[in-house]
A and B are shown apart, each in its own frame.
Chain A
Amino acid sequence: MLTIGIILLYISGWLLIRAVYRDASWMETVGFAFPIGLFVTTLLMWLADWMGLRLTPVLLLSLNVLMTVAGGWVCRHQLQRSLKEYRFHFTLNLNNLLWLLLLALVIYAEASNFLKTVYFPVYDRDSLAGFDTIGFIAAQEHTYRGMSIFDGDYMPQIHQAGSYISYMPMLQLSYAYVYILGAATSKLVPALFFAGFMLGFYGLMRRVTCATASIVGVLGMLMTPEMLSFSSLSNTNVVHACLASAGLLYVCQWYPSHRFEQLMLGCLLLAANCWMRAEGIIFVATALVLVALRGYGQFRQLGRKGIEWKLLLLPLAALLPTLLFQVYAQVEGLTSESILITRPFWDAVKFGDMCSGAWFLSITSTYYGWTFHLFLLVVVLNFILFKKGKATLYVAGALLLAFVLYFVLLYHINYIWDTLDHVMNFSAKRFLFCYVPIAWYYIVSNGIVGQLFHQLDSHINFRRTEV
């Protein structure tokens, strides 16, 4: 039953991506099919639970079949055309030996990571005292909102600040999904999520740079020490990073190409990201700024009539999961003491601690390797030396804006359940995962490095480079 459930998730995610972005490559489609399938399935599970339906294997599989049929109906013309034009052909595009070597390293490293992820059942504290246990109990009791661990008499601390009751439910419901379908451990979810992201991220980069540069980007991202080790755990940090970075990168790709489909897929991933973690709104805000900037550019070129205001609706729609969940939490009483300071304030000590924490995290190689060193180096090189490089600086700008917004949000959190020092010293090492793929995307595709890779590729590629 679990195998059928996972296959249906992939098919529904695949169809949804095809419906949104017709020209998505097979790598992007397969890579992001699992997260998108999970996003829509968990959304439907949550709605069904809210309507009072029991979360049973029959219901979950029915929901998936329904999604697959609906997706197939939307994509029927595409599917018909594909079936008519289908001819079996297999070409092994080796690109070059360097690409092959790096690909082998990526496969080896990811195989090891995948094996570690699925070998060990959930053992990390955050998952056992949160995500995994919530998913497990939801599966046992066939409900989310009515779970015994959400009962104040059984868990009196449930409404305290920072309680798991107010967490966005995507990962918990994903775990419930696999447990309901008979899994002994939920580790398959993070394992498939991260492995798919490798593929999708490669496909994303292939749109803007050559094969060699793309595989360097994937290897660089994969080898980021803290991120790789965290990807084998069951908490939200890495899966959130996959969704946030992929979503924002699609919006960045839309920015110069102005292809509506890329913005659609980007916003879909950002919506999934908001369904995963509350701070997903930061990346939506960054996407909104990019869309607004584009609108301003149109205004300068074509005047008021040239602005497509409706485009702003897409990133705004990505906030819907957050808004819906807030309404649901208020209605169902699944709230906890707020930790957010909503008024503007100035605390020099806190600000100083934040800045030094952010600087330390970016500059130390222990957690993120040389990711941010290289990123800053290529930003400076492009800005000073290479005129053409400025054309890709909006990616770096998006990363920096999202980074600043993240720390603004952290500044507005009232650390009543933990000390700021403790958060900066122990938890903060996970905060920058979202920026790692974006940084590597920029490192390998920016003007100066992209040109260098292109030149190299043109000398050693067995086929002519397509980019």
Chain B
Amino acid sequence: MEAILNERAVRLKIIIRTEVRTSRILSLLLQTKCDRMIFSNTTFKSMPRWVRLLLGNLGAVAVALVVLVAIEKTSDAYNWTWEKYVVKNLKVISPKLHVPLEGRLTSKLGADLGYLIFIRNTTPTNAVIYYPTMADFTTPPPDKEKSIFNGRLHEKLIAVRFLYPRRVVVESELGVTSWSKKLTHICIVNGHNRDMLPYQTEDDFYNGALPTDSLLMTPL
């Protein structure tokens, strides 16, 4: 028992000695060398405490600023975070705080959102709508070179979010779900899906939602 206790005491002494040594090294690093340079200087020591504190603080701020600017300049990641994210966001957003929510959202989602809002505004709330596929959004009409849509809002749940309470049916559900048999409107995009309507439409009708029952058509 005694031997174990002695051994533990020796171990403890070693640990304490090492810790004292390491903390001394740290003190040397931070205190003694700095003291020798700044704080132990007799002129510095004779200054009032608040002046010493202020000088120490200003020194620390100056060093921190140099380090922060160096990090911002040398690292692409931090440069992006500060310049492109923090500063730019504040600059861009601050003057536009009056813009309504729909305008803010359109600035992020573009023409695709405009299309969804148009469908929402031109269909009744109880409509069951056939919603186009990604290919319909991205394939331009025959007489155009490029589609104005990028198709990022082609997913059903996204369409449901903006068209609610209207019901949305997508291509893979045709003939599978009971809702696909109750379609009241077909979404036409880039001129696609006109063939799903039981009646003829004008050739230059590219984007919108048309009722499956021609009697429900209202002039736009």
Residue positions of A touching B, CB distance < 8 A: 96-98, 101-102, 105, 108-109, 111-113, 115-116, 119-121, 123, 125, 128-130, 132-133, 136-137, 140, 148-149, 153-157, 164, 184-185, 223-225, 228-229, 365-367, 369-370, 385-388, 448, 451-452, 455-456, 459-460, 462
Contacts and interface: CB of A to CB of B under 8 A. Distances in A.
B77 A455 contact: no
Given A130-B157, A153-B177, A366 B30 contact: no
Contacts of A133: 157-158, 160-161
A223 B158 contact: no
Given A128-B158, A387-B18, A121 B60 contact: no
Interface in B75-111: 75-78, 80-82, 85-87, 89-90, 93-94, 96-97, 101, 104-105, 108-109
B15 A365 contact: no
B33 to A, nearest CB: 12
A155 B87 contact: no
Interface string B146-190: 000000110111101100110100001100111100000000000
A112 B105 CA distance: 18
B104 A120 contact: yes
A112 B153 CA distance: 28
Contacts of A229: 81, 85
B214 interface: no
24 contacts: A96-B60, A101-B61, A101-B65, A111-B90, A113-B86, A113-B89, A120-B104, A129-B158, A132-B161, A136-B161, A137-B161, A137-B164, A156-B177, A184-B101, A224-B81, A367-B77, A369-B78, A386-B22, A387-B18, A388-B19, A451-B23, A459-B34, A459-B56, A462-B53
Contacts of B160: 133, 137, 149
Contacts of A111: 90
Contacts of B165: 140
B66 interface: no
A112 B89 contact: yes
B89 A225 contact: no
Interface range on chain B (Cβ under 8 Å from partner): 35 or more
- Chain A contact surface mostly: helix
B41 interface: no
B57 interface: yes
Given A223-B82, A386-B22, A149 B76 contact: no
B161 A153 contact: no
Contacts of A132: 161
Contacts of A105: 68
Contacts of A452: 26, 29-30
B196 interface: no
B70 interface: no
A432 to B, nearest CB: 14
Contacts of A102: 64
B95 to A, nearest CB: 12
Given A136-B161, A387-B15, A388-B22, A97 B61 contact: yes
Contacts of B65: 101
A193 B151 CA distance: 31
A365 B23 contact: no
Q: Find the residue from A130, A137, A448, A459 having the highest chain B CB count within 10 A.
A: A459
B105 A121 contact: yes
B58 interface: yes
Contacts of A366: 76-77
Given A113-B86, A149-B160, A97 B101 contact: no
A452 B172 CA distance: 63
Contacts of A455: 26-27, 30-31
A455 to B, nearest CB: 4
B85 A228 contact: yes
Nearest to A95: B57
Contacts of A370: 75, 78
Contacts of B105: 120-121, 123
A164 B130 CA distance: 22
Interface string B133-149: 00000000000000000
Nearest to B102: A121
B112 to A, nearest CB: 11
